[in-house]
Structure 1
Amino acid sequence: MSRKMKHQVLEGLTIERIASEGKCVAHYEGKVVFVSQVAPGDVVDVRVTKGRSSFLEGDVIHIQHYSPDREEPFCSHFGVCGGCKWQHISYPLQLSYKRQQVIDQFQRIAKVPIPEVQPIIGAASSTYYRNKLDYTFSNNRWLTKEEIDSGETFERSALGFHVPKRFDKIVDIQHCYLQEGISNEVRNSLRSFALAEAISFYDIVKQTGILRNLIIRNTLTTETMVIVQFGEDNAEAIEKVMSFLKTNFPQITSLLYVVNLKKNETFHDLDVITYSGRDHIEEEMEGLRFRIGPKSFYQTNPAQAQRLYEVAREFAGLTGEEVVYDLYTGTGTIASFVARQAKEVIGIEYVEAAIEDAKLNAEINGLTNTRFYAGDMKDMFTAEFIQQHARPDVVITDPPRAGMHADVVQTLLDLEAPKIVYVSCNPGTQARDVALLAEKYDVTAIQPVDMFPQTYHVENVVLLTKKSPSA
């Protein structure tokens, strides 16, 4: 029955609430209907795009009544580029929904007793908070319905973001509200210069063209890194582009480029050429300096990253006598952040280049009580590893969205450290892992942090304390 409903229009559905991944929920004849780009309280007409026995998915084709909680999106690209999907919802309401998302995930998945989830720590600024943006050049700009219907001919070159689910289509971004500083000016000026100089934009399908990708990184210390990826090793064009950027934007402290002839935009295995300035930028947090190279990972919302790390450190309850393990340490930012309050910090990370960054950052900051090791977490974090090093009093773990490998969870259970501080960008997989750890641990504190305003993503910190023998 449900498959036959595909393309059917369901009229007058009342949007009830926000569910996981930002989709909203309505009901039709006993079925759950998931709808995107709406707000609770909207009354909408929906065209069904997917049908299953237990639920439907659909797109809004008409809004009969707007929710009083709606706000006018501030970005002209809203609904097309795929970013900032919650612009139409007030920021206080976004925070409320994100906190509820954490509660729902723990009730539905973890199914263990939990304390009251603390009010979410919101961002001081809900726009211009990112320190890194990746733009793609394309000769196949996404055209709006109005442009297509007009029958006119339009410039097809674009520099912007991928249309969701369309790898070959790029939205030409005029102004992005995610990154402050010279970011918008650099992007728009480079686009205009390239068009005037007839420097080809990349053909994503044919994989030809000179200009391929633009990455802009900045810091709270007002340093800026610009990386240009070229799809062809064209010395004349490369010199034109890089000279233009150097001359017109002296604020760029690190001007780099990459020649990438591969079939994807990743460049971690390629040489990065320093055209002007330094080969890195530096961020500061609580007096600590962190060197960020073109291949380095660093939290994309640095102001909120400090709040997140403060929560993790508070949950750890360090007195200066503890040995701390920092699992999935990345470039060692959390490890360095807590090192001054710990006896020793041992960080483990599978990306070897990240570990080298971690060691360098520790050295820059004069931290002599940190040690870092590279290797697959499930292979490194074992009973043998623990026997060779000091047993931890506190384990801080910040895994990727997929959560922790089952072997890592089992090692934590065998280890029985007094405290585990679990930092996660995915409360669903975090709740799954907590359910497994509940055999020996109680959840004693939960603190969500909003790292990504205008989106449904939420970061969450959980404190797990070892159960007493009588428990």
Structure 2
Amino acid sequence: MVKLFTPSRTSRPSLPKKAELTIDGMSSEGRGIAHHQRQTVFVEGALPGERCLVRFTGKEKGHLTGETVSVVSPASYRREPFCRHYEECGGCDWQHLDRQQQLQFKQDNLLQSLKKHAGIEPRVTLDPLTDQSSRYRNRAKFSVWFDKNKQRVIGFREKSSKNIVGIQTCSVLNQRIDDAFQVIKQWAESQSVLSRIDQIDITDDNSRLALILSYSKSINDQDLQVLTEGLESLGFETDVWLKNRSQMSLYQSSQTSPEYTVKMPNLGLELLFSPSDFIQANQGMNEAMVSQAVELLCAGMKNPDTANVLDLFCGIGNFSIALAQKVGSVVGVELHEEMVAKAEVNAQRAGTDNASFVAADLHAAESPTWLKGQFQGVLLDPPRAGAKNTMALIEKLQPESLVYVSCNPATLIRDAKALQQFGYQLDSLGLIDMFAYTHHSEAVASFVRKK
């Protein structure tokens, strides 16, 4: 009997701790792609065209992972990171990459993934929506937790870790938020309240700042007074909110709550929101995105002036109010009743009488009871999970024009494939540079019914 030799696991070639590799691609997660011993390696911090010394960090299903130790031969578009915390902080992962090249990689990955996984190509690829600002964020969420040395710090999640990196400054926050953070950090450390706070949220509406302190143990009034005095010295209005579980209150309030607005000056709109509401972190890109989405949706309808439009996942009316200025009527649908109430107020403030709003769960599978009449246009702005459970509604409505605003390419591709099966073609696709210096992609896609 012939005994066949079967290599054992121990007889397979073992990986070295390091190897010099050529990077020949870029993954959708922003890592360089290389190959070693017939295996694919995803390399943090590496760019296509480079030769890098790579330290292997793990083995996952079907591939290896690694990190760049040194760049032997750099790409022409490699840049020096401008943040002092870049090597540790997991917030920005593409500061070492030229801004224009960031957009090119994102666009290429999106187009290639659409073609590979859904067999779809847009008729038109739009120019990316972008600007040149580096301090673009109007909103930040700081964690208060332990770093790798078990010290409680204020900062952001460490790269590839659950630890928190204590930061001194953040180079992509707008200057007012960064200035406020300096005051908050100094106060929290000097007043020894770090053990009482779990999270710090700051939102700037370009008129005033809202600071939310989420706490697990109460903070005494004397400590809070020190904080408010420090914030007052900055020379701009800042409100301190205290949050314990789901309860939130305004500190030292003797009057009604201050107003915060999403400002869209080119559209002549200001939309009220509360500090705990979801709004976009990049307000400049938000207005550009709203303008483009409205334009694309109207372009796909025969008679937009008289068209009925659905705005699904409408929030505080970010798209709805602008749409109502261009179409016959708008129905906005949102899960959270408090945001629906704000959308209604925002419509009134804008003098809009052709927009109405409904509170409903768009992820529910059952047929909606609120849906009445025909709709010529639909705008979708779903969360990262996408709009899978809303596809049946789209198939039923068969609108002339549909615009899908996406914060997750994977779910956009999945839903685009379903729309294609319903008789829609991808007319145009464009990137939105919402989060510069990161690999995260946002996009707007317009679909029209095939003739």
Cα distance change, pair 373–464 in 1 and its aligned pair in 2 (3 A):
same
What are the equivalent positions in structure 2 for 1:7-26 lying under 5 Å apart? 8-26=16-34
Counterpart-to-counterpart distance in 1, 2:18 and 2:262: 51
1:451 paired residue among 411, 415, 434: 434
Following superposition, the deviation at residue 52 of structure 1 comes to: 4.6
Contact kept in structure 2, 1:5 and 1:48, CA below 8 Å: no
Structure 2: tracts of 5 or more residues without a match: 1-8
Report the secondary structure of 1:86's partner residue.
coil
Name the count of aligned residue pairs: 434
Following superposition, the deviation at residue 273 of structure 1 comes to: 2.1
Counterpart-to-counterpart distance in 1, 2:14 and 2:136: 39
Cα distance change, pair 137–428 in 1 and its aligned pair in 2 (3 A):
closer
**Following superposition, which runs of at least 4 residues in structure 1 exceed 6 angstroms of deviation?**
2-7
Counterpart-to-counterpart distance in 2, 1:6 and 1:346: 61
Pair 1:415-2:397 in alignment: yes
TM norm structure 1: 0.85
Residue identity opposite 1:372 in structure 2: F
Counterpart-to-counterpart distance in 2, 1:2 and 1:421: 54
Pair 1:344-2:329 in alignment: yes
Counterpart-to-counterpart distance in 2, 1:183 and 1:2: 54
Cα distance change, pair 352–245 in 1 and its aligned pair in 2 (3 A):
farther
2:193 is aligned to 200
Counterpart-to-counterpart distance in 1, 2:10 and 2:31: 19
What are the equivalent positions in structure 2 for 1:235-314 lying under 5 Å apart? 235-253=220-238, 255-260=239-244, 262=245, 269-275=246-252, 278-285=257-264, 286-314=267-295
TM norm structure 2: 0.89
Report the secondary structure of 2:412's partner residue.
helix
Following superposition, the deviation at residue 250 of structure 1 comes to: 4.3
Deviations 1:372-413 (A, max 9, x none): 111210448836433xx23111011111111112x4212211
Counterpart-to-counterpart distance in 2, 1:395 and 1:341: 14
1:136 is aligned to 143
Pair 1:466-2:449 in alignment: yes
Contact kept in structure 2, 1:393 and 1:418, CA below 8 Å: yes
What are the equivalent positions in structure 2 for 1:395-406 lying under 5 Å apart? 395-405=378-388
1:211 paired residue among 197, 219, 236: 197
Counterpart-to-counterpart distance in 2, 1:344 and 1:6: 65
1:86 paired residue among 65, 90, 94: 94
Pair 1:59-2:36 in alignment: no
Pair 1:158-2:153 in alignment: yes
Cα distance change, pair 368–380 in 1 and its aligned pair in 2 (3 A):
farther
Counterpart-to-counterpart distance in 2, 1:4 and 1:227: 55
Pair 1:185-2:189 in alignment: no
Counterpart-to-counterpart distance in 1, 2:15 and 2:181: 39
Bigger mean CA offset, 372-381 vs 447-456? 372-381
Following superposition, the deviation at residue 13 of structure 1 comes to: 0.4
Following superposition, the deviation at residue 30 of structure 1 comes to: 2.5
1:102 is aligned to 110
Deviations 1:183-206 (A, max 9, x none): 222222222233333x231xxxxx
Counterpart-to-counterpart distance in 2, 1:223 and 1:283: 11
1:29 paired residue among 32, 37, 58: 37
Counterpart-to-counterpart distance in 2, 1:444 and 1:225: 40
Pair 1:390-2:373 in alignment: yes
Deviations 1:47-100 (A, max 9, x none): 323325632112223332222221000001002110111000000111111111
Cα distance change, pair 2–114 in 1 and its aligned pair in 2 (3 A):
farther
Identity of aligned residues (%): 25
Counterpart-to-counterpart distance in 2, 1:8 and 1:119: 44
Cα distance change, pair 399–59 in 1 and its aligned pair in 2 (3 A):
same
Report the secondary structure of 2:129's partner residue.
coil
What are the equivalent positions in structure 2 for 1:39-78 lying under 5 Å apart? 39-52=47-60, 54-78=62-86
